[in-house]
Amino acid sequence: MRNMNSIDLRRALAERIRYYNELGIYDFYRRPRNESRSESVLTEEISESTASFQPELREEMAPRKSVAVAKPVDESIFEILNPNPEQGVSDPVGALKLIREHLGDCTRCKLYQQGRKQIVFGVGNPRAELMFVGEGPGADEDAQGEPFVGRAGQLLNNMIKAMGLLREDVYIANVVKCRPPGNRTPERDECDTCSPFLMRQIAVIKPKVIVALGAVAAKNLLAINASMAELRGRFYDFMPAGARSSDPSWQGAKLAVTYHPAFLLRDPRQKGEAWKDLQMVMKYLGLKPPRQNV
């Protein structure tokens, strides 16, 4: 696999880091750089060691083994290996702030140069029991820097209200934080690059329930390819990649799937179906049934 490109390499490294995280290993160290070794040799070493990684060899790995990365190869690879700055920060407000700072003026995927006005990080209660996740910002969201503020956002607000909650009670975010041009569906590499930040937001907020709005959000969160008919109508156990499953205060969220509000605007006949999904969530959260439907 000497020809592994940087995206494949990053993805493979991220997978490996997730595996270490699942073992409870979060701290990684950079081995002092050996000036005599060329950049290409180090790149190949990383590629080969990653490519040769086999599940059956996992138990042979020393838990504290260092992962060496040469700085000149690619700073973003080293970023993957760094512990997330919010780790160990118990206050979700401060932890979300650290994630936002880490995101910075992000150029990690190509969406940064495809006309975005600003990054749309997420909004709402950092201690929310209920979180909504859509696929990406649209024109209104891009202009205002807040998810779900256009017509679809109004409908989402009504859905939240119908559940007996306020928008301020929940947390709302998207799989990608920059507007795809022409509101196209975010592409696989864009979702793969951006979604780790969403996973970190979820891990900090620790919601009881996540509602995936639409198939794109659902497929990205659940990493399964299925139709809305197959995805809806049940809860999934959800633990964001990289989160500490041993955290005694949070054992993950229940994830439900419903229609994206923009779809419901186009096909209002499906509102009744969406309402069934929300009622399932309300029952789980013990929310009082409202008097009016959405």
User: Which of these segments, 34-42, 82-90, 170-178, 274-282, binds ligand SF4 (CB under 6 A)?
Assistant: 170-178
Site size toward ligand SF4 (CB under 6 A) is: 14
Q: Are 116 and 142 in contact (CB under 8 A)?
A: yes
Note whether 260 binds ligand SF4 by CB under 6 A. Answer: no
Cα–Cα distance list, 250 to 115, 196, 236, 239, 254 (Å) = 38, 19, 15, 9, 11
Among 25, 68, 98, 106, binds ligand SF4 (CB under 6 A): 106
Name the minimum Å distance from CB 221 to ligand SF4.
15
Interface with ligand SF4 (CB under 6 A), residue from 176, 211, 216, 274: 176
Q: Give the Cα separation of 222 and 239 in Å (integer).
A: 10
Q: Is 193 in the site for ligand SF4 (CB under 6 A)?
A: yes
For 39, the token pair is 């950049």
Is 99 a residue that touches ligand SF4 (CB under 6 A)? Answer: no
In angstroms, rounded to a whole number, what is the distance separating the alpha carbons of residues 263 and 151?
A: 11
Half-sphere exposure of 8 (CA within 13 A, CB side): 12
Is residue 119 near ligand SF4 by the rule CB under 6 A? yes
* Selected binder of ligand SF4 within 194, 218, 228, 231 (CB under 6 A): 194
Q: For residues 77 and 40, is the Cβ–Cβ distance under 8 A? A: no
Amino acid letter, residue 123: V
CA distance 144 to 27: 37
Instruction: Single out the residue of 190, 215, 242, 275 in contact with ligand SF4 (rule: CB under 6 A).
Output: 190
Q: How far is the CB of 6 from ligand SF4 (least distance, A)?
A: 15
DSSP secondary structure letter of residue 269: G
CB of 182 to ligand SF4, least distance (A): 15
Q: Among residues 111, 209, 210, 257, which is the contact residue for ligand SF4, using CB under 6 A? A: 111
Using CB under 6 A as the binding rule, whether residue 177 contacts ligand SF4 is answered as yes
- List phi, psi (to 5°) of 139: -65, -45
Find the helix or strand (DSSP H, E) in which 124 lies.
Answer: strand 123-124
Check residue 165 for interaction with ligand SF4 (CB under 6 A): no
Q: Which of these ranges, 72-80, 173-181, 203-211, 255-263, lies near ligand SF4 under the rule CB under 6 A?
A: 173-181
Q: Which residues bind ligand SF4 (CB under 6 A)?
A: 103, 106-109, 111-112, 119, 176-178, 190, 193-194
